Amino acid sequence: MSAEATPSRAKRPVEYEATVTELRMETHDTATLLLELDAGAGPLDYKAGQFLNIDPHQFRALAHQCAYLQEQKGRKEPPRSYSLASAPHERHVAITVKDEEFIPGVTRYAPLLSPLLVHGRLVGAKLKVTGFMGPYVLPDDVTERTDHVLHVVAGSGAVPNFAIVKDALHRGLKLRHTFLASNKTWGDILYREELAALERAAPDRVRVVHTLTRETDETKYGPGVRKGRVAEALLHELLPDRDTCLVYVCGPAITPWDRRKALETRTPATPRFMEAVLGHLHALEIPDKRIKREAYG
């Protein structure tokens, strides 16, 4: 998952020199980069669900595109934020990056950094990253608050939640995780095999449910696969403990560009995944204090 960087209330981030040791194509347009970070800059102290920043200005190949976008926007291009796919106990820090689309009339600017990270053949390359930031983490007293976490994600929104589940299992936290992932097709699902392996290894602690919006016959993929978008009825089914659960929602939301366009055309901005899911959760009377969200777009 990526976005333009936003300030965090966490401790001061540290700049590291990273070497890309491996690149794994997760889907046709999404890759996981494994990073070896120079520990000389400080300890790799992060929590599952956090992100790191990468400044596009460090890449000579992007110099002209940076200059063009800065002229168009009237401001300097900020660093991009990428959620960590790794959990703190794992050997490498990992980010999963989706090559964002440019859709004329829908998206205002072409993506800058994600195409290079996904398709740039960067294995062996060195780059600077800044981390670690973000409040999208489990609270320290999570097991005192609940015994069930529902993860509701869309597309690359799966990244931080995947890390959170791995970390909770590794630490032996007494939590049940229901992982509800929305994607267009079976081939678009991130970490499909890894999530299935977690479910097989801990069936009493992990349940994975997929919902697919562009498959004609979802039944061929198994009983854990549903058709359509995340709907209120499905959330009702997966949340028998609405007064005590915690819900972590990560996915695309209405962008500032969407809002500006809506104002110009005097039409309401079309709700995206985040707004739709939050609407369903509120209809189910899930207290807002029990919902954690991370949006991108």
The string of pLDDT tens digits covering residues 38-87 is: 876 666 889 999 999 999 999 999 999 999 999 999 999 999 999 999 99
Q: Considering the chain, what percentage of its residues have pLDDT values greater than 70?
A: 94
- In angstroms, what is the C-alpha Rg of the chain? 19
In angstroms, rounded to a whole number, what is the distance separating the alpha carbons of residues 139 and 137? 6
Mean pLDDT of 199-215: 96
Report field, pTM of the whole predicted structure over 0.85: yes
Check whether 3 has a pLDDT greater than 70.
no
Which tokens go with 291?
Answer: 């919902």
pLDDT at 191: 97
pLDDT of res. 256:
67
The separation between CA 185 and the C-alpha centre of its own chain, rounded to angstroms, equals 18
Instruction: Find how far residue 81's CA is from the centre of its chain.
Output: 10
Average pLDDT on 99-110 reads 81
How many Å apart are CA 160 and CA 212, to the nearest integer?
Answer: 20
Strands 14-27 and 30-37: antiparallel
Beta strands in the chain (DSSP E): 2-4, 14-27, 30-37, 51-54, 80-83, 93-98, 126-133, 148-154, 176-183, 206-212, 225-227, 246-252, 291-296
Residue 107 and residue 110: Cα distance in Å, rounded? 7
> Which is it for the CA torsion 247, 276, 197, 132, positive or negative?
negative
Q: What pLDDT, in 10s, does the model give residues 178-192?
A: 999 999 999 999 999
